[in-house]
Structure 1
Amino acid sequence: MVVTSSRRRKEVVLRVVEAKQRDVGKSKVRIDVDILKMIGAEPGDVVEIEGRKKTAAVAWPSYPEDRGQDIIRMDGLLRKNAGVSIGDKVIVRKADVQPASVVKLAPANFSITIDSGFVNYVKKKLIEYPVVEGDTVLIPVLNQSIPFVVIQTKPQGVVVISHDTNIILLEKPVEQGKIPRVTYEDIGGMKDIIQKVRELIELPLKHPEIFKRLGIEPPKGVLLYGPPGVGKTLLAKAIANETNAYFIAINGPEIMSKYYGESEQRLREI
């Protein structure tokens, strides 16, 4: 762990690990209380998290088993907003928080019809939510989550949405790339399997220089096998999201054909 001072604010470097299910989707991170004291923060304070991008979240005390490990637990959406993956390092500091007077949101990648009732609903869901311009937030609607991008805040920097905040929703979408629909937190009861698959797939994708330095060939493929419904496809989607890889789901019946050469042609068309 490295503790430094920047612009009269203390900051610390922590390693990112996945959030536990109870903390997913709540703009919450888990940090050792001793580390929070080092940066002048307390549980319940908003912290600024800097990876390849900046975001903000509410700091909660770490779980007892995490004490002394210099880690920060973040869910998939917060990791995306910070531009990091599991195992990366982030800089954490106590945020200089201001109340938001205006927050402008736009749907990500698709259009949506907006009325005053929906604006009030979105505002209610985001009360006391810390945001930074460029963040993605998920609004639950009819058993699904609609992603919105924070395209402008007044003032700038880390702001917290309150009852006095003017929420502006745009109907025209913005291109925001891939939203992490499936993350490691969505997969239950597969901790050991996830760890093995991450070593086989995530490590070569993120750190190919390690294999080159050692003079060994990284795995060219991994076979996941098991009965239907155990989570093979879900795990593959989570890995693709966490590594920013492109994912194509191909089901056998989609490519099989009784005619010679037609299955091969369908594969070439994918």
Structure 2
Amino acid sequence: MQITGPLIIQPAHHRDIGCGIARMDYDVIDSLDTRTDSFVEIISRKRTVVRCLPVIPSDEGKGVIRLDDLTMENIGSQIGKHVYVKKIDVSEAERVIVAPLQEIPPVMEQYLNDVLYNQAIVKEQLVAIPYFPGSLIFTVKDYTPLAQSVMITSKTKFQIENTNYYFSNNV
């Protein structure tokens, strides 16, 4: 598949933070033979998958990509650094195993589905789940089916590792 870049990381606009979005030029989106709102892989020291949306008009033609802090953490990069982007195929997730990075209160699986619904993930990616007064951070340990990336659907079942919890939509 076509790889495009390098693109220079700039901070996400406030409305995009936590949404799994990367904003880039229409020319970049076209060169990937994809369309807006499709999934793309962002590649640096590590990789992650996000939805691509166009930049605002004042960013057009500048070779920038706008990413939030969590996405930068997931690719091991920071503002001002270069990344590459490629189109990626995403399968529907049947089962996802996550592990919390800190001690967590009980979390219902439906809440994970609600927050991550329609987002794509890769193994070892960090995901933030809003939980008063902040967020719970999980790492994606594994998923089925075997694929480069999977998308969370209403049928996705979660298993939270390192706790006694296993939640299913069938309960």
Aligned-partner Cα distance in 2 for 1:149–1:11: 26
1:122-154 deviation per Cα after TM superposition (whole angstroms, max 9, x unaligned): 121111011110111110112311101111122
Aligned to 2:61: 68
Question: RCO (CA 8 Å, sep 6+): is it higher in 1 or 2?
Answer: 2
Higher-helix-fraction structure: 1
**Corresponding residue of 1:57:** 50
- Name the structure 2 match of 1:153: 143
Pairing partner for 2:122 from 129, 132, 136: 132
Confirm or deny: 8 A CA contact 2:121 2:150 kept in the other structure: yes
Measure the CA separation in 2 of the matches of 1:143 and 1:29.
26
Taking the aligned partners of 1:90 and 1:57, their CA distance within structure 2 comes to 13
Question: How far does the alpha carbon of each residue in 1:21-40 deviate from its partner, in whole angstroms, 9 at most, with x for none?
Answer: 11111101101112101111
C-alpha distance in structure 1 between counterparts of 2:151 and 2:127, whole Å? 13
What amino acid is aligned across from residue 84 of structure 1 in structure 2?
S
Counterpart in the other structure of 2:169: none
SS in 1 for 2:136: strand
How many residues are paired up?
A: 161
Which residue is 1:170 aligned to?
161
Q: Which AA in structure 2 matches 1:114? A: P
**Partner SS, residue 58 of structure 2:** helix
**In 1, Cα distance between equivalents of 2:72 and 2:42:** 10
Provide the rounded CA distance (Å) in 2 between the counterparts of 1:36 and 1:43. Answer: 7
**Structure 2 residue aligned with 1:210:** none
Unaligned runs of 5+ in 1: 1-8, 173-270
Instruction: Return the alpha-carbon distance in structure 2 between the equivalents of residues 33 and 167 of structure 1.
Output: 35
Query: What runs of 5+ residues in structure 2 fail to find an aligned partner?
Result: 164-171
User: Between Structure 1 and Structure 2, which shows a larger proportion of strand residues?
Assistant: 2
Amino acid at match of 1:156: A
Question: Identity, % of aligned pairs?
Answer: 30
* Structure 2 Cα separation of the partners of residues 52 and 16 of structure 1: 14
SS class of match (1:16): strand
Separation in structure 1 between the aligned mates of residue 37 and residue 78 of structure 2, nearest angstrom? 24
Contact 1:134 1:151 (8 Å CA) reproduced: yes
Which residue in the other structure is 2:3 paired with?
11
SS at match of 2:2: strand
For the Cα contact (< 8 Å) 1:48–1:54, is it kept in 2?
Answer: yes
| 2:98 alignment partner, SS class | strand
Provide TM-score, normalisation by structure 2: 0.89
Q: Which amino acid aligns with 1:59?
A: C
List aligned pairs for 1:237-256, cutoff 5 A: none
| Separation in structure 2 between the aligned mates of residue 128 and residue 171 of structure 1, nearest angstrom | 25
Measure the CA separation in 2 of the matches of 1:55 and 1:70. 19
CA deviation after TM superposition for structure 1 residue 91, in Å: 1.1
* Residue in 2 that maps onto 1:21: 14
SS at match of 1:55: strand
Give the match's secondary structure for 1:48. Answer: strand
Kindly report which structure 2 residues correspond to 1:1-270, keeping only aligned pairs within 5 A, or say none.
9-13=1-5, 14-108=7-101, 110-114=102-106, 118-154=108-144, 155-172=146-163
* Mapped contact 2:99–2:162 kept (Cα < 8 A): yes
Q: Name the aligned partner's letter for residue 58 of structure 1.
A: R
CA contact (8 A) 1:29 1:74 kept: yes
Normalised TM-score (structure 1): 0.58
Residue aligned with 1:140, SS: strand
